[in-house]
Amino acid sequence: MSVAESVNAFAGAERPGSSSSLRVRARGLVRRYGRFTAVDGIDLDVPDGRVLGVLGPNGAGKTTTIRMIAGFLPPTEGTLEVDGVDVRRRPLEARRRIGYLPESTPLHPEMRTRDYLRFRASLQGLGGARRREAVERAIERCDLAPVALRRVGRLSKGYRQRTGLAAAIVHEPPVLILDEPTVGLDPRQVAAFRALVRSLASGRAVLLSTHVLPEAERTCDEVVFIDRGRIRARGTIDAMRDRAAERLGWRVEVAAAADGPRIVAVLEALDGVAAASAAPDDPAVLRVRPAPDAPPPARFGPALAAAVVGAGAGLRELRPDAAGLDELFRDAVEDAGDGPATGGGA
């Protein structure tokens, strides 16, 4: 079974399907531009309290998918519900349930931060005491109090992004959509913004579109890989790593380099091991490739550890030798290989 098939099988058992907790439900979503198909039959379920990463290379179709869910593009085919509201039949009502932060944050540089948030709250139909409370709540949640009276045009990139996020949540939407939200931020700002997004997931569904794979790895509960307009793989990060470990192998580090060659022979004799070798630059680091009939990772890992300890070597580290999401994504796309691409929109 390929990585993509394994991931999809696992995720299919986990995804909630039709449920009252679903905030976003898409079935057979298609978007065409003339003869060109940018999105080709996408299904998505995003439940309450989850951060879903929508990943893919430039031109994969992920931005088109996000814009359809956000209500900026009508689907050519398929059904789409946001918080139980049909986007095609009641688009304005659906959009009121969405907070959207595009890649280029639409700010008014001449306005002060608090005034800008009041303006955005008014656009959402809030007024009087409700508007005051909503604005102050958004300022508090996004940590904007230090710059509440400062003009938006004088804010740092990090604070401008927080201001855009505060504007997206000022009306307390049940669905929050973030399109490449950390582009241009420095590492410290990225870490702070990531923590903020995680805190905002409580009580709502969050969709995060990105081509920065480590960002999704650190922020999202689940990811979908889109390429050529189709979902090629989906699942939780841990599930993907487990499936990758079945194929990519394990990393074993022993206490002393001298033990490496001896432990290689021990591991190669173990049932379920196809090959074992020492890293050329560090004999204390061993690579183990499982055989096709190897036990699942939950059993295979302890068996490796027991073999190393039983051979009298000190075990310093044992972990799946799975690469990051970038390699998993490449594997999934290569495994998909289902004919000529019809997608490839933004």
Query: Which of 28-32, 57-61, 135-139, 151-155 is predicted least confidently?
Result: 57-61
The answer to whether residue 148 is domain-embedded is no
Query: Number of structural domains, the chain?
Result: 2
Q: Are residues 264 and 184 in the same domain?
A: no
CA–CA separation, 42 vs 38, rounded Å?
11
Over the stretch 305-344, which tens digit does the pLDDT of each residue have? 999 999 988 899 998 775 556 666 666 666 655 543 334 4
Same domain, 291 and 210: no
Is residue 59 domain-shared with residue 187, that is, in the same domain? Answer: yes
Higher pLDDT, 20 or 183: 183
How much is the pTM? 0.73
In terms of pLDDT, which residue wins out, 266 or 212? Answer: 266
Chain segment 153-204, per-residue pLDDT in tens: 999 999 999 999 999 999 999 999 999 888 888 888 888 888 999 999 988 9
Instruction: Give yes or no: residues 206 and 279 share one domain.
Output: no
Amino acid found at 185: L
Burial, 286: exposed, middle or buried (Cβ in 10 Å; 0-12, 13-18, 19+)? Answer: buried
Note whether 80 and 217 are same-domain residues.
yes
Structural domain that includes position 43: 3-97+173-241
